[in-house]
Amino acid sequence: MVTYSARQLYYDGKLQAATSNKTFQTIDPATGAHIADIHEASRADVDKAIQSAERAFPSWSATPPIQRARILQKAAQLLREQNNEIATAETHDTGKAFSETSVVDVATGADVLEYFANLVGGGGLNGETTQLREDAWVYTKKAPLGSAPCLAAGNTMVYKPSEFTSLHGETLAKVYTEAGLPAGVFNVVHGAGDVGAYLTAHPSIAKVSFTGQVATGKKVAAAAAGNMKYVTMELGGKSPLLVLPDADLEIAVDGAMMANFYSTGQVCTNGTRVFVPKNMKSAFEKRLLEKMQYVRAGPVMDPSTNFGPLVSRVHHQKVVITSDMALRQIKQPFFREEIFGPVLSILTYDTIEEAVQRANTTELGLAAGVFTSNLNVAHRVIDQLQAGITWVNSWGESPAEMSVGGWKQSGLGVENGRRGIEAWVQNKSTLVDMSNVVVTAFAKL
């Protein structure tokens, strides 16, 4: 049986035992085995991690962008060098197949680090200067607020991983330290919702970035609002995938499978509501069932396995119960609320207008997609879909260069892309007047 050393907290540039003297278990979703103990942070521990970040902030925020960029690029290099080791731990921690974690998880993390390193190193956070008249101008400076865009922008941070997937926090901290990140810039605490709530409400925190369920996100946003903190919320979705009458059947089915079965359906942008023309339904279902043979469940470390278990027994039961209620036609919000599992719903429609209207009938607006051979129609439909992330004849790709963020109750703010790093700075505007004359209404009084 695979086991890992106990995961401690990380602040002041080194591992720290939790003062709570409490731990919680990490369970391998594939085997149900207890594979690691995680130190649970006390409030005193969280305070120490925040103080560590505060001490490091003046120096790190004043570090030249090109120097910050070199450190992040080195961290990306180390992630790539340790790809298989980190991916293996991620597979045992999350249940995701190694065929996915070894190709996507670590690599995309390195991509994001490199993107933001190149952005800040190339002057991407330089301020703007606007001339008002011959003897006056305005300049705007972008100042750090207080993982990748946060650090690239000159901020320090305290990171709390999910209590269900906590193995990687210590690993990431060690990678950053080896890359040259100064002590206190990146800190890690572990725990459940109470630790997150204390961290969110702490007066020394300038910004909160949260990824998770809508209900939890609302609580986090409300707590942050008490001290007027900046927030980024990447919350849930119930995303529509529209197959138009002229769509290529093979491509549309492939898209629907990626939108629902990748990562065992545990992706916030899942296209769980697949809208298909009535006269295409039978053909679509037939081809979908034929292609289900390519969904291969099995030992998670087997290279041929591409479908692992759900992240926990509790979550598995939730998905099964919700699906069973839908099959028995028990009234519940199956088509409106996120399930976060490999559950694909096929909904038929008569007209594109009807499909768009029904697609938008949800309080969530994270993602949407259209499959069609007519790009003019695709853009027209995309413009009508109420979602912040959209795809045409594809699903799921979200490169570092692409800014993403949800509409409606699916989130606040954006991640990735140039707009993503703007979320980690605050603007200061200054007007400079060299005319030696103050414009005033009282000059002649």
Q: Is the pLDDT of residue 237 over 90?
A: yes
Domain count, the chain: 2
Spatial separation of the C-alpha atoms in residues 164 and 159, rounded to whole Å: 15
For range 250-267, the mean pLDDT:
97
Cβ burial of 312 (10 Å; 0-12, 13-18, 19+) is middle
pLDDT of residue 331: 61
In a domain? residue 235: no
Instruction: Name the token pair of 103.
Output: 């190709």
Q: What is the mean pLDDT of the chain?
A: 94
Q: With 60 as the cut, is the pLDDT of residue 146 above it?
A: no
Place 214 in a pLDDT band, splitting at 50, 70 and 90: very high
* pLDDT bracket for residue 309 (50, 70, 90): very high
Whether 221 is in a domain gets the answer no
Most confident of 76-80, 414-418, 432-436: 76-80
What's the whole-number mean pLDDT along residues 392-408? 95
Residues forming the active site? 234
Question: Do 163 and 119 share a structural domain?
Answer: yes
Do 174 and 272 belong to one domain? no
Residue 401, domain member (yes or no): no
Domain CATH number, residue 168: 3.40.605.10
Please tell me whether residues 422 and 384 are part of one structural domain: no
Among residues of the chain, what percentage have pLDDT more than 90?
84
Percent of the chain exceeding pLDDT 70 equals: 98
Does residue 150 fall inside a structural domain?
yes
pLDDT at residue 332 greater than cutoff 80: no
What pLDDT is stored for residue 125 in this prediction?
75
**Average pLDDT in the 100-117 region?**
96
Q: What is the per-residue pLDDT for 444? A: 62
Quick one: pLDDT at residue 145?
Answer: 64
Q: Is residue 233 part of a domain?
A: no
Residues 6 or more apart whose CB falls under 8 angstroms from that of 73 comprise 113, 114, 117, 118
Give the per-residue pLDDT at 182: 98
What pLDDT is recorded for position 33? 97
**Residue 329: band (very low, low, confident or very high) from pLDDT cuts 50, 70, 90:** confident
443 pLDDT tier (thresholds 50, 70, 90): low
- CATH code of residue 366: 3.40.309.10
In terms of domains, do 378 and 260 share one? yes
Residue 136 is predicted with a pLDDT of 76
Q: Are 94 and 151 part of one and the same domain?
A: yes
Residue 207 Ramachandran class (φ > 0 left, ψ -120 to 50 alpha, else beta):
beta
130 and 196 assigned to the same domain: yes
For CA atoms 143, 173, 170, 399, give the dihedral sign.
Answer: positive
Would you say residue 443 lies in a domain? no
Residues 114, 119, 120, 126: what is their CA dihedral angle, to the nearest 10 degrees?
A: 180
**Among candidate residues 362, 361, 379, the one with its CA nearest the CA of residue 370:** 379
Is 32 in the same domain as 64? yes
In terms of domains, do 165 and 254 share one?
no
What is the model's pLDDT at position 445? 54
Q: What is the pLDDT of residue 201?
A: 94
The mean per-residue pLDDT over the stretch 159-181 comes to: 97
Kindly report the pTM of this predicted structure.
Answer: 0.93
Mean pLDDT of 156-170: 97
In a domain, residue 3? The reply is no
State the residue range of the domain holding 154.
Answer: 9-205+414-428
> What is the tens place of the pLDDT at every residue in 10-46?
999 999 999 999 999 999 999 999 999 999 999 999 9
**pLDDT confidence tier of residue 327, bands split at 50, 70 and 90:** confident
The whole-angstrom separation of Cα 327 and Cα 372 is 30
